[in-house]
Structure 1
Amino acid sequence: MLIVKAIDLHKSLSGAALFEQVSFEVREGERLALFGRNGAGKTTLLQGLLGKIDFDQGTIRRELPLEHWGWLEQHVDVSPDDTVLEFVQSGSAELYRLKQELERLQQRMNGQASSRPAAPEWVNGQASGRHSAPEHAAEEMYGGEAMDTVLERYGRMYERYVQLDGYAWEVKVEKSLGLMRLDPSLWTQPFCSLSGGQKTRAQLAALLVREPKFIVLDEPTNHLDEESLDWLEMWVRAYPGTVLYVSHDRTFIDRTADAVIELEAGGCRRYTGGYTDYRRQKELELRTQETAYKKQEQEREKLLESIRRYSEWFHQAHRSAGQNDFYRSKSKKNVSRLHAKEAALERLESARVQKPREAAGLHMQLVAESFAARALLRMEGVGFAHETGRELFKQFGLSVNRGDRIAVLGPNGAGKSTLLKLIAGLLQPMAGAVRLHPQAKIGYFAQELDHLETEETILGSLLKLPDMTQTRARTIMGCFLFSREDAYKRIGQLSMGEKCRVAFLMLLFSGANLLVLDEPTNYLDIDTRERVEEALLEYAGAFVVVSHDRYFIRRAANRLIVMDEAGAPQLFSGTYDEYRFKDRSRPLSPEEQGRDNERVQLQLRLAQLMSMEEPDEEEERLRLLEEIRQLRQRL
């Protein structure tokens, strides 16, 4: 069954085309990831599908009515007084309206609030009102309205509430909040007071209550810790309806998506599978296009050379022919060949393969000052507690050495950012010591990006650096995707993604040999994340990073600090995959089991090659070394 079909959608913002010629369809039971760079218009496209905004051109065919759609958005507009419980209940519009009205009428009748609609006494199918009415009910007035009228309205609404199974709905709301790990102590708190991850879970709870047939999720993975991400992945895979979502979490896309729809300015294209499959197909497309382009250019050069040669022959034969019939016939033969080659060139140009162009991307190389010693930083017997008295660390020890890529894992609230601030020297331990080597230089990236000078312009901040010129500053800005017009923007006016790039720009010139990074890729699109990852992988210094991006952690980290709310961080000397595979307290997914099996096979093959005698032939020796190198790279 077709859920929705988009046909030739166009949308412009401020007179500039955001996207055009966008066509795709969503079918029942699919899990589709809408993918694209920041600013490509993904959220705008989702809002248009939901009827919240209009497109400039194109058609949307909704085969499933909008009342059966569900929507999770990045920014929720709610009243400051709405509690978490009220927010989740409000996702079921009719039941919530009935519940509110019943409670309001009860307050009028009883003179006090009641937490649950009480059933009236019924006589001959009508509400008698004997359970709460005074002796002369008919004569009582409530806000200018006769009590009989109030009771009659209450009876009608109560009957409708029971008909819709309202009391079972109330239980379902509470169960959904529990499934989302939102403690009952939070239910009466204002929704606006929740953290980002808690707000996301509250929105998911509201969807879980309704169970719409089609769900649209805009960045559902934002602010979620690893445990919540694992739960969300299982929920999306098991959901009985259809799901379309936007996410920058590559692991989430790999584990949940049936297909990826890539949105670009000139349209969109569908790729089967998750993110890894999408990348593989894109690389194959690029290689195929490059091959076709080179072949086309070679053919074009041949045709141009033939046209030039036949043109010369024709003009020479025409000049020599005069009235000689033989030469005139030869001249005509040359001109017919010339026209045939020109026609072939026209056909080639009409079906021209465009030269593959790499999209503008971040160009970044982090340089670290040289460092001779092994250890850059040591933490010895460190203890730290919140103002509330909750202990985060006790007798914690850590050594950060040259070449370390340390990732800090743990649930929200476990103290990951606090640990980074202790390492960076922004907080002082309550017990123990943090010792920094005299030659070590720390570069700090704050999750909130509040360490940036908001009143300074991008260009101005660069020109403060020693030996910096206007020309070099503008070149550097271009490498970080800032246009000429962006130069004079104040940093405080930038988007979070732009501020993130500015923060990396500052790290570029810090000369730091120890980077302390708190969620460095949070506000970046996937392409920019991968450029940052490449720069960090080639970085000569060490870094300690907190990130919820499991794809990044899997690629970059060679050591882990695993934290929990009990205040006992554990050190793990190994990669993220090794840590996950060693954790047998939970069942491995088929993907993880496959990687585990493959890793064992690769290790056995590597051990076999390393035990072989070195071949005498140079060619065989080089082949052996190359296979060993490839095995190590894959491992």
Structure 2
Amino acid sequence: MGSISLRNAGVIATEPLFSNLDIVIAEGDRLGLVAGNGRGKTTLLRAMAGIAELTTGDIVRSRGLTVGYVEQDMPKDSLGLTLRDAVLEALPEAERDYEAWRVEVALDEFETPAEMRDRLVGELSGGWQRIALIARTWVRQPDMLLLDEPTNHLDLTRLAQLERWLAGVSKSVPVVIASHDRQFLDNTTNRTLFLRPTESVTFALPFSRARIALAEADEAAEAQRERELKEAERLRKQAAKLTNIGINSGSDLLVVKSKYLRERAAKIEAAAAEVHRERSGEIRLVNAGAQAKVMLAFEDVEVASPDGRTLFRIDKLHVFQGDRVVLLGANGTGKSQLLKLVHRALGGETVQGLRTSPQAVCGYLDQALSLLPEKQTPTEVLQRFDIGDQRRRSLLAGAGFSVEQQARRVGQLSYGQQTRLGLLVLRLSEPNLYLLDEPTNHLDIPGQERLEDEIVSHGATCLLVSHDRSFVRGLGSRFLQIEGKRLREVVSPEGFFAAAGQRRAVIVTTR
């Protein structure tokens, strides 16, 4: 078995992403890599894979170690290939004829239906493209596996499938997983690395337990810092007193002693470690409020696919002000189509059987973040609101955008930054009814928790689609499940979660 050792590793972009990192990843390790958006997770994985450089320190790999790195996006040149050929492409060209059998084995491991293997990758859902990326890496039989946000776009069925697969894989190869999915990290890791600009911290625990240990360590560090600063303050006061006495009495000895005390205080202050604070940027929402009790009323409403196929029907449903409604269902059953239908109705389109409150003001965030023009900068995006240049700059800075990032085009920003910008646009739109389709896909963990707190604390009415189990449990007040082409209300999401874990994956295309 091989290993990777990082010694005094660090990367500086415009500021330090991480530094002084020492860690060994070896047999039996299933390491969860946790940090805020843009705080160095992908950079570290790329360095470990040998395709990026550290600013400081060294990476030492065992002799002959092969590292498999699963990136976040399928190469554009591969989108026109069939799924089978996209995986085959990952093998060295000289091996493709006699090693093609390995492609079928890899696809079998992910329970890929036979009829899907000849579909074009570009026609597959984001979830199946994610599986294709993992299969492309796994077919090369690496000695270590690095996964960058592997759960993005996966529905619960494939999430459970990936968790089962990783449980088997990790017995033979070490695995490093960068993810913002709290439940997934708990289910798949046994160590957690919290990546920080100065002192990164590692615990031999899965995420939730490691986070408790981290909070305790940070609390102890803060208490120690306060004690040190109080001691420094005491020494300075004592030095000032001795200085006055020494001057008044003409004692050079007391003056020298007071200087010594000030120097001691300065050393203590310099050594007192600043406790780490997450700097992901704030997420804030508003609830414009309404007098209406019922925000949406459905009666015999048909939800259809873009090509007109009936996906499911809603017999009768009222969404009341303050409801936080979570839509449950497998991929392709029509959750996103329902949000689009409601969005069109709130925009003035007549939808048979759907009544909307005249007081409803919609805030809609879809998975593609279509409210953000890719060629505009964040500053230009906010120019649709009459708030002034200074206010725009202040809001963007508060959301975590540096001056440089404010001038970049939206398409050049990270997915996490785009999501934060989208949420800022929603806030400035002052809605009282939120339609959120997978809003946590690219948000870091503090961002997810902040979004949850904002929706709950403002009493906002919300229709939500999410595969993030922790987010659903923390946010939902009502749960609607699509089953058998009908929408029915259930008491909790737990039955759906359990059933999804046992369900076999199905084919879903983007068309």
Asked if Structure 1 and Structure 2 have the same fold, meaning a TM-score greater than 0.5 normalized by the shorter chain, the answer is yes
- Residues 45, 69 of structure 2: 8 Å contact kept: no
Correspondence for 2:359 among 439, 444, 456: 439
Correspondence for 2:444 among 510, 525, 539: 525
Residue aligning to 1:629: none
Residue aligning to 2:265: 345
Query: Deviation of residue 356 (structure 1)?
Result: 3.1
Equivalent position amino acid for 2:214 in 1: K
Q: 1:455 to 1:86 in 2, by over 3 A?
A: closer
User: What's the RMSD between the two structures over aligned residues?
Assistant: 3.1
Matched, 1:362 2:281: yes
Query: Deviation of residue 253 (structure 1)?
Result: 0.7
- Residues 408, 545 of structure 1: 8 Å contact kept: yes
Correspondence for 2:175 among 243, 252, 258: 243
Listed one character per residue, the Cα deviations across residues 98-143 of structure 1 (whole Å, up to 9, x for unaligned) are: 453xxxxxxxxxxxxxxxxxxxxxxxxxxxxxxxxxxxxxxxxxxx
Query: Deviation of residue 546 (structure 1)?
Result: 0.8
Residue aligning to 2:94: 97
Residue aligning to 2:371: 451
Matched, 1:197 2:145: no
Equivalent position amino acid for 1:358 in 2: R
Q: What is the percentage of aligned positions where both structures have the same residue?
A: 29
Structure 2 residue matching 1:366: 3-state secondary structure: coil
Matched, 1:418 2:415: no
Structure 2 residue matching 1:276: 3-state secondary structure: helix
Equivalent position amino acid for 1:30 in 2: D
- Residues 384, 430 of structure 1: 8 Å contact kept: no
Query: Deviation of residue 87 (structure 1)?
Result: 2.9
Q: 1:11 to 1:339 in 2, by over 3 A?
A: closer
Q: 1:477 to 1:407 in 2, by over 3 A?
A: same
- Residues 424, 442 of structure 1: 8 Å contact kept: yes
Map 1:284-363; keep pairs closer than 5 Å.
Answer: 284-318=216-250, 331=251, 334-335=254-255, 338=258, 341-342=261-262, 344-345=264-265, 348-349=268-269, 352-356=271-275, 358-363=277-282
CA distance in 1, matches of 2:57, 2:409: 38
Correspondence for 2:190 among 258, 276, 282: 258
- Residues 365, 539 of structure 1: 8 Å contact kept: no
- Residues 30, 189 of structure 2: 8 Å contact kept: yes
Q: 1:10 to 1:286 in 2, by over 3 A?
A: closer
Equivalent position amino acid for 1:269 in 2: V
Matched, 1:74 2:61: no
Residue aligning to 1:406: 325
Query: Deviation of residue 382 (structure 1)?
Result: 0.8
More helix by share: 1
Residue aligning to 2:164: 234
Q: 1:70 to 1:312 in 2, by over 3 A?
A: same
Residue aligning to 1:6: 6
Query: Deviation of residue 288 (structure 1)?
Result: 1.6
Residue aligning to 1:508: 427
Residue aligning to 1:573: 491
Q: 1:9 to 1:338 in 2, by over 3 A?
A: closer
Equivalent position amino acid for 2:163 in 1: E
Matched, 1:499 2:418: yes
CA distance in 1, matches of 2:375, 2:25: 46
- Residues 367, 540 of structure 1: 8 Å contact kept: no
Higher relative contact order by CA 8 Å / sep ≥ 6: 1 or 2? 2
Query: Deviation of residue 293 (structure 1)?
Result: 2.2
What number of residue pairs does the alignment pair up?
499
Residue aligning to 2:51: 52
Q: 1:255 to 1:375 in 2, by over 3 A?
A: same
CA distance in 1, matches of 2:416, 2:502: 36
Listed one character per residue, the Cα deviations across residues 235-271 of structure 1 (whole Å, up to 9, x for unaligned) are: 2123222111211211111111111112233353212
CA distance in 2, matches of 1:373, 1:557: 21
CA distance in 2, matches of 1:80, 1:580: 31
Structure 1 residue matching 2:486: 3-state secondary structure: coil
Q: Which moved more, 1:514-523 or 1:174-183?
A: 174-183
Listed one character per residue, the Cα deviations across residues 7-51 of structure 1 (whole Å, up to 9, x for unaligned) are: 1234455x7655443321102011001222222232222222222
Structure 1 residue matching 2:4: 3-state secondary structure: strand
Residue aligning to 2:508: none
Q: Which moved more, 1:415-424 or 1:80-89?
A: 80-89
Equivalent position amino acid for 2:227 in 1: K
Equivalent position amino acid for 1:270 in 2: T
Q: Which moved more, 1:487-496 or 1:531-540?
A: 487-496
Structure 2: stretches of 5+ with no match in the other structure: 504-511
Q: 1:411 to 1:585 in 2, by over 3 A?
A: closer
Equivalent position amino acid for 1:65 in 2: G
Residue aligning to 2:507: none
Query: Deviation of residue 585 (structure 1)?
Result: 9.5
Q: Which of structures 1 and 2 has the bigger CA Rg?
A: 1
Query: Deviation of residue 435 (structure 1)?
Result: 0.6
* TM-score normalised per structure 2: 0.87
Residue aligning to 1:600: none
Query: Deviation of residue 52 (structure 1)?
Result: 2.3
Structure 1 residue matching 2:161: 3-state secondary structure: helix
- Residues 3, 61 of structure 2: 8 Å contact kept: yes
CA distance in 2, matches of 1:513, 1:58: 50
Query: Deviation of residue 552 (structure 1)?
Result: 1.0
Equivalent position amino acid for 1:26 in 2: I
Equivalent position amino acid for 2:217 in 1: E
Residue aligning to 2:22: 23
Query: Deviation of residue 481 (structure 1)?
Result: 1.7
CA distance in 2, matches of 1:46, 1:455: 29
Structure 1 residue matching 2:50: 3-state secondary structure: coil
CA distance in 2, matches of 1:19, 1:501: 22
CA distance in 1, matches of 2:371, 2:15: 34
Equivalent position amino acid for 1:399 in 2: H
Residue aligning to 2:506: none
Residue aligning to 2:401: 482
Query: Deviation of residue 378 (structure 1)?
Result: 0.9
Residue aligning to 1:117: none
Residue aligning to 2:153: 223
Equivalent position amino acid for 2:360 in 1: A
- Residues 321, 460 of structure 2: 8 Å contact kept: yes
Residue aligning to 1:43: 42
CA distance in 2, matches of 1:558, 1:416: 17
Q: 1:584 to 1:506 in 2, by over 3 A?
A: closer
